[in-house]
Structure 1
Amino acid sequence: MVAGLLAGYGIAIPVGAVATYLVALTARTSLRTGASAALGVASADGLYALTAALGGTALAPLLASVTTPLRWTSAVVLLALAVRGFLTAVRQYRGAAANGREVRELTPLRAYLSLLGITLLNPVTIVYFTALVLGSGSAAPAGGAERTVFVLAAFAASASWQLLLAGGGALLGRALTGRRGRLATAAASSALIAGLAVGMVVG
């Protein structure tokens, strides 16, 4: 269980483009949508933990071989999310000025699926769990019960951290109640996400 918790927190805590997007998404939508997105990230981490626990070293070369194309795919998707997030914020800004309210387009289910997909494509996640597979036998347990506990613990650790980030995004959204504040936050987060995406392929 401890190994699973460490694995989950190890991949979840470093703040990158996905975490930045999660916070920004929650800030401009709702805690419910952000929590759904957070569980999407945690589900992807859980799937990779399951792969690490079940696959063993046989899957490591396969995982390692797809990191380069997925790095480019992930960068393109993140750039698209950054652009879409900014354009959505601009549209909401103009809509709020015209209608006196904000339009929230992203449903919790779509948020879950979107973050699940982008996290599965995240090369950082793949490299991390590839290293876990290639690590010591104590990192990836052999017994069936131990594997189950490992995967569940990794999922729980990732979920707790992602939900904390979503909560922070919700607080940020409440603090930035003005239209201009939300637009400025969306622009800043989109620029940061775009920068991190470019860093994936040129770094």
Structure 2
Amino acid sequence: MRAALVAGLLAGYGVAVPVGAVGAYLVSLTARTSLRTGACAALGVAAADGLYALLAALGGAGLAPLLEPLARPLRIGSALVLLALAARTAVTALRARRLTVAPVARTPPGPFRAFLTLLGITLLNPLTVLYFAALILGGGQGGSTSGPLGRAVFTGAVFAASASWQLLLASGGALLGRTLTGARGRLLTALGSAALVGWLALRLLLD
């Protein structure tokens, strides 16, 4: 079981640590809302990673040919969702900036909605399950994830690794939000994060 645990932790950090558009949006969301909301969003990302790890451990090589034809459409869908979120972030920030009395900005997402949003965005990325399938089959992890207990340990370790990293990103967003408490600081943070998320989403479309 130790091999399954180590393999899951390495796989979880391997897929979570590279900060892409989802990670940038997570930091931005936490800075604009609260650590509680950001933590729930972080757990949404980790839940998707854990689910894909379980699917890869259960399905193995059979998943790759099934998902490969869907990879490009789902990647485009994920990029479009992220572009829409980036645009909404920028528009909301600009509207709040123009309103000097009793701002009536859109209600920020609550914890449950943030969890579902980040879960959905992450599930739109089929490359995650392909990553786990390739790791298990081509990286020598097949033996460590054999059997129900080995698969459970591997999946739990992936979830724990991903959750710890995403929660770290959310904590950074919360600190950023406390630091930039002024109206101008929040405006610049929102616009900067919207630009970053939009750029990373465009890279998904162009790759």
One-letter identity of the residue aligned with 2:148? G
User: What is residue 154 of structure 1 aligned with on the other side?
Assistant: 158
The percentage of aligned residue pairs carrying the same residue is 63
Cα contact 1:27–1:174 (8 A) shared by 2: yes
Among 112, 128, 132, which residue is 1:129 paired with? 132
Q: Which runs of 5+ in 1 are unaligned?
A: none
User: What is residue 181 of structure 1 aligned with on the other side?
Assistant: 185
Flag the 1:143–1:123 CA change in 2: closer, same or farther, 3 A: closer
Among 94, 116, 119, which residue is 1:116 paired with? 119
Q: Secondary structure at the match of 1:122?
A: coil
How far apart, CA to CA, are the structure 1 residues paired with 2:170 and 2:118? Answer: 12
User: What is residue 47 of structure 2 aligned with on the other side?
Assistant: 43
How far apart, CA to CA, are the structure 2 residues paired with 1:133 and 1:88? Answer: 43
Flag the 1:87–1:100 CA change in 2: closer, same or farther, 3 A: closer
| 1:98 and 2:112 matched | no
| 1:65 and 2:77 matched | no
User: What is residue 36 of structure 2 aligned with on the other side?
Assistant: 32
How far apart, CA to CA, are the structure 2 residues paired with 1:42 and 1:171? Answer: 21
Cα contact 1:29–1:104 (8 A) shared by 2: no
Q: CA deviation at 1:143?
A: 1.2
Q: Which runs of 5+ in 2 are unaligned?
A: none
Q: CA deviation at 1:104?
A: 4.5
Q: Could you tell which deviates more after superposition, 14-23 or 117-126?
A: 117-126
Q: CA deviation at 1:118?
A: 0.3
Q: CA deviation at 1:105?
A: 2.1
| 1:165 and 2:169 matched | yes
One-letter identity of the residue aligned with 1:198? L
Normalised by the length of structure 1, the TM-score is 0.92
Task: Output the aligned Cα RMSD.
Answer: 1.9
How far apart, CA to CA, are the structure 1 residues paired with 2:11 and 2:92? Answer: 35
Q: CA deviation at 1:91?
A: 3.3
Q: Secondary structure at the match of 2:145?
A: coil
1:25-51 deviation line (CA, Å, top 9, x unaligned): 000111011001000000000000101
How far apart, CA to CA, are the structure 2 residues paired with 1:73 and 1:133? Answer: 27
Q: Secondary structure at the match of 1:53?
A: helix
Cα contact 1:64–1:130 (8 A) shared by 2: no
Q: CA deviation at 1:84?
A: 1.0
1:66-112 deviation line (CA, Å, top 9, x unaligned): 111111111111100101111222233345x3138987521111100
| 1:194 and 2:189 matched | no
Flag the 1:158–1:115 CA change in 2: closer, same or farther, 3 A: same
